[in-house]
């Protein structure tokens, strides 16, 4: 004899799946990429300085973004045994940062059944190409606006005037990030230097 379906049997699995998908979507993991000159011995470098003006400066003054980038980068470089100098540095560091408006359009099946609870496309993806749900289902399109920030860090061999390392961090930028720039910039710089060829001293 088949078990009798109850509202609890129907909605509890759906609610759990929806909650897990929502939690996964909330976690923003930055995209971190780097490239370096494999012919370069990075252990030879002992000193560094910053370009003037930096790519993140505005007009004739140093921006707050530049100040935070310099402070955090200095910390990362010194942790790797390099010194900040004012004359004849072996390495020069430059930054570029951009903030772009992005739009994401997502289409997923949604059910009109049961208090308007939406069904996530990924959860029901196993049906694709095999059979369709009953007519109570219809596609729902969701348009999301968000900000995406990109930070470039260039490390240049001063004598050769050649870039030897580049770190690029791309991530969503929330209003909370914009209101707490030091924390957001610190996290981005740390993520970039995690891919630097020389690890911090123990």
Average pLDDT rounded to a whole number, residues 138-152? 71
Q: Which residue has the higher pLDDT, 140 or 132?
A: 140
| 43: in domain | yes
| φ/ψ (deg, to 5) at 11 | -90, -25
Range of the domain at 157: 30-193
| 23: in domain | no
* 67 has a pLDDT exceeding 90: yes
> Residue 136 CB: number of other CB atoms within 10 A?
10
| 187: in domain | yes
| φ/ψ (deg, to 5) at 129 | 80, -5
Percent of the chain with pLDDT over 70: 62
| 198: in domain | no
| CATH number of domain containing 172 | 3.30.160.670
What pTM, to 2 d.p., does this model score? 0.66
DSSP assigned state of 141: E
| 74: in domain | yes
| 200: in domain | no
Q: Which residue has the higher pLDDT, 9 or 31?
A: 31
Torsion sign (Cα): 45, 51, 55, 57? positive
Q: How many domains does the chain have?
A: 1
| 11: in domain | no
| 7: in domain | no
Angle subtended at Cα 69 by Cα 144 and Cα 191, rounded to the nearest 5 degrees: 60
Residue 119's pLDDT band (boundaries 50, 70, 90)?
Answer: very low
Q: Which residue has the higher pLDDT, 155 or 179?
A: 155
Longest pairwise C-alpha distance within the chain: 86
């Amino acid at each position: 004899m088949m078990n009798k379906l109850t509202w609890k049997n129907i909605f509890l699995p759906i609610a759990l799946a929806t909650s897990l998908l929502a939690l996964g979507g909330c976690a923003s993991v930055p995209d971190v990429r780097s490239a370096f000159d494999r012919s370069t011995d990075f252990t030879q470098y002992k000193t560094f300085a910053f370009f003037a003006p930096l790519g993140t400066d505005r007009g004739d003054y140093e921006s707050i973004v530049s100040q935070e980038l310099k402070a955090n980068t200095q910390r990362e470089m010194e942790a790797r045994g390099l010194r900040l100098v004012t004359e004849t540095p072996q390495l020069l560091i430059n930054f570029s940062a951009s903030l772009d408006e992005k739009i994401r359009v997502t289409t997923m099946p949604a059910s009109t059944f049961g208090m308007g609870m939406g069904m996530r496309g990924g959860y029901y993806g196993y049906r694709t190409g095999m059979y369709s749900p009953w007519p109570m289902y219809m596609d729902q399109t969701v348009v999301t606006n968000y900000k995406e920030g990109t930070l470039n860090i260039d490390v240049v061999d001063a004598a050769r005037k050649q870039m030897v390392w580049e770190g690029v961090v791309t991530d969503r930028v929330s209003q909370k990030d914009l209101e707490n720039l030091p924390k957001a910039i610190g996290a981005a710089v740390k993520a970039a230097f995690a891919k630097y060829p020389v690890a911090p001293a123990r």
